[in-house]
Chains A and B, each alone.
Chain A
Amino acid sequence: MHRVLEDPEQYPISLKFGWPKLSTNEKIFLASMFYPLFAIASQLSPEPRSSGIQVLETASYQLHCFQTLTGVKFLAVVDPRQTGVEALLRRLHELYADFALKNPFYSLEMPIRCELFDTHVRSALESAEKLGVANV
């Protein structure tokens, strides 16, 4: 059930900082490191039934995580001033439900290599970026 693999596509935002693009394997590696952190965060909670990590903050970026009821996680690495990230992640969830899951050539739990998914993610990111800047 480690369906964290869906997140590799969520990184393009980092392009803004001019980072070198990660390979699919590197993304999967990083995502699988995040998975236990997420679980620990949930276990550390003094209250029962806590969520895992939703936002992780550093001086230079924020990492937002949205987990669906089925356990798929969507991650975004963003500028701390970026707003509307939760809405963006929910939008990505819809795109995943549409352009990955409804594509007969996509196999569950595999990295998403679907052209339409990529195009729609890109345009979701672009509009989020515009909105985010406008709201700062």
Chain B
Amino acid sequence: METSLDIQAIRKDFPILQRQVNGQPLVYLDNAATSQTPDQVVNTIVDYYHGYNANIHRGVHTLSQEATDAYEIARQKIQKHFNIAHSYEVIFTSGTTHGINLVATGFTSFLKKGDEIVVSAMEHHSNIVPWQMLCERTGAVLKVIPMNQEGELVMDAYHDLLSDKTKLVFCNHVSNALGTVNPIEEIIEAAHKVGAAVLIDGAQAAAHIKADLQALDVDFYTVSAHKMCGPTGVGMLYGKQEWLKKLPPYQGGGEMIAEVTFEKTTYADLPHKFEAGTPNICGGIAFGAALDYMNNIGFDAIAHYEDGLMQYATEQLLSIEGLRIYGTAKNKTSVISFNIEGIHPYDIGTILDKLGIAVRTGHHCAQPIMDFYKIPGTVRASFSFYNTKEEVDVLVAGVKRAKNMLV
């Protein structure tokens, strides 16, 4: 197993890492919000617009055929990457939020008053709000899997929540605010025992963990390309074919129909039933290129390297007096959320930005987690395989400097 990376060679693929911010070399540690895009992916986008930009699935002309082929090859790359049984179980979306909304809307007719849906306490708002809206439409009740101080789900409580009333369970694979890797194998297996379907939000996991969706036996899994070296505005929703056949279409339009008369429309087969309108063709193709890029480096090597970086950053940050890390799960990846006693995270983020260091501050679209810890937010440093130990040192020195200024 290859686990060593040539980071300097990798960094050359990302010209943005060479730029300066506020007169300082950029240290980009906001990878959990969006990852940077390597030349290989950017070139794919340029090649598309220079060479074969055309609408897909409908033209008889050569460009349309080339674009259609490239788009469908990208779908197959996604299928292979996530070990999905059939390529038509891969639905191109605009991103994770779109995928979640597609499923939440589709379940409206399957739920009735008194049914229960279970969500984890550490979800992103995009994996809370669509389900709350679903509850409002159907009278179903939302139940929450609690978490402990370390930021791990309390699995005994989860098992107690499950009953024959449970129809749906949804949880993120990795928490964007805390970095916790959730025990989704156990979550999926237990939900299936009571006949509930499971949706896993893989947005935060996808850049670090290569999920085998057939082995997981998950019903739905959704990711965004921009968190794994791809462009924004494109993602994928995986659904088991029996679910995708049952779910009604999400949007009406071109591409998703088989036959239209003013009396009746019959819908197209999978996956087109869920892909109304002209999709983000170039984005889909570039998503495939991003998967190629990451797989070329290798997910084992990436995980090994990022774990080392996170351990090092954790040790170094904890040497700062008054610094507390939120999210200390035994199984976590690539995210360090922290505060310094008596200092607002916004102030630290502002000073770090002046030093060229990009971190996220605030509630990370996960207000329930901040309420749990009774804090307004955190400073979040999130790592990618192109970050270095030297950048961690710059971060730690920056946090120390901010602390000196602000205390």
Same complex? no
